[in-house]
Structure 1
């Protein structure tokens, strides 16, 4: 939803907060996931920042095309330098939210203190993947993405050809091809994803991919366990967290012999192009 209200430009975010500006913002600073999505849609941020998982250098898995586009990275959002941010003269800050209430990666008080509007879009499982992608498309259009951005006029969500590739590959792989999504936590620990907690995994399940559920235990999004938990589920294919802070699941003590590995960024930029790349990579692996 967008509007103007008392402003020349306005956009109502997924907290129900209307961000307003005298004119359409041209200088956008964003959380790296949101910034990469906006770049895909045709809006180039003036800078991006990371999360509490990120360090002083950008995570290549989360960068998308930002580095190639020359977009500077400012480090973790909670440690943003106020003066550095002022020097960038931002007209809008864009973050994400998992709970529909609070920005994930930036201190809201810092943004408020600068007098800069903040737009926060949901990426949690309260929304479906098509809706999440569609909301970023709406923001891109509101920020002046050329013709509404790539794919303007097409239905929101992952492109149909990418979804059909997954559907066909999943049907060909059959019920014996269990897929497990996980994030490595070191030599002794692993986080097993609960498929329903991740919009893209839920969508893959709808397309026929047999996502393995780790079962009961603590944790809304992940079940924390030892690597034997991954072995016990006997996945044929593993979507492994490819972000810099996660360890790679290698070795027979961690996964069954012959299990195929596909990198998965749990913070894929919410754009049709980014999700199409991931869906095609998965479809190819399912078809091997």
Structure 2
């Protein structure tokens, strides 16, 4: 939730994040530093961060798969969030707000909350885990963008494109009946197989009719860690492989299966989700055997 009140010509800014923190500031924040995934979503929604930072998986260079439009917009990358210090942030010329994500609803994912405290600015963490639907996650980022002054028109147009992309996925899934396995490579000995219900974008695709392969029983709420022989034996028609820089390309491919990239940290904006869904609809259609156009 967000709120802005005028008192004697001043406007007090407020926003309640997904950790339940009621954030306030004397005025609306204008200079935002964000985790890469959050920053890419905000940029899509009309809020340009002054800089972004990565997670513990990221190195000193911005992962182009995770970057969205950040590099093209000239948004600087500061490196992994846990390694940031006050001097690096203050060297940007000031910051009003830090934006991160949360997977557990208890703490920010990629940055130490104490950093924002030392800077004397609010930290907003928005949920991206499976306790929310993809639509709810996208709506929360849109709400924050709106609270930061973004125009609603661009978001509305992107939402329309997402609706078109979802329709394309539904049609392709119904026409082809292709089975899909999402995974993240960990080397020649190991692979992480995604449990579709644990990933909001995959869960939404399943609602649209995409037939995901169940990786099978075993430990792990989001991934089943296993060997490539098990993955090959599941026999999917399409493999969605983790295309982030920290993941390893597929070591083995099931016979006859097609490959398509998947970013498990797709920016939660209508535009980014629409691009992913459109690409998936095309990948599903590549093996439909010449069905209806």
TM interval, shorter chain, is over 0.9
Return 5+ residue gaps in structure 2 as ranges.
287-293
Report the alpha carbon displacement of residue 257 of structure 1 after superposing the two structures with TM: 2.3
Q: 1:10 maps to which residue? A: 14
Match of 1:39 in 2: 43
TM-score by length of 1: 0.94
Unmatched 5+ residue regions in structure 1? none
User: What is the root-mean-square deviation of aligned Cα atoms in Å?
Assistant: 1.6
Mapped partners of 1:39, 1:281: distance in 2: 21
Cα deviation 1:41-96 (Å, max 9, x = unaligned) = 11100000000000011111101010110000000000012201122211000000
Q: Pick closer, same or farther for the CA change 1:57–1:149 going to 2, 3 Å.
A: farther
Q: 1:107 aligns with which of 108, 112, 121?
A: 112
Give the aligned partner of residue 135 of structure 1: 140
Counterpart of 1:21 (choices 3, 16, 25) is 25
Partner of 1:247: 248
Q: Which digits, 9 at most, give the CA deviation of each residue in 1:196-240, with x for residues without a partner?
A: 000000000000000111111111100000111111110110110
Aligned to 1:201: 202
1:264 to 262, 265, 286: 262
Is residue 2:162 matched to residue 1:164?
Answer: no
Please give the alpha-carbon distance, in whole angstroms, between the structure 2 residues aligned to 1:164 and 1:21: 41
* Cα distance in 2 between the residues matched to 1:196 and 1:82: 38
Corresponding residue number in structure 2 for 1:224: 225
Taking the aligned partners of 1:90 and 1:266, their CA distance within structure 2 comes to 28
Aligned to 2:103: 98
CA distance in 1, matches of 2:204, 2:89: 37
Residue pairs, 1:33-182, within 5 angstroms: 33-88=37-92, 89-146=94-151, 148=152, 150-152=154-156, 159-174=162-177, 177-182=178-183
> Does structure 2 conserve the Cα–Cα contact (< 8 Å) formed by 1:50 and 1:58?
yes
Contact kept? 1:240, 1:262, Cα under 8 Å: yes
Listed one character per residue, the Cα deviations across residues 112-135 of structure 1 (whole Å, up to 9, x for unaligned) are: 111110100000000000000010
* TM-score normalised to structure 2 length: 0.93
Offset, 1:275 = 0.4
**Cα gap change, 1:196 to 1:158, in 2 (>3 Å):** farther
Residue 234 of structure 1 is matched in structure 2 by 235
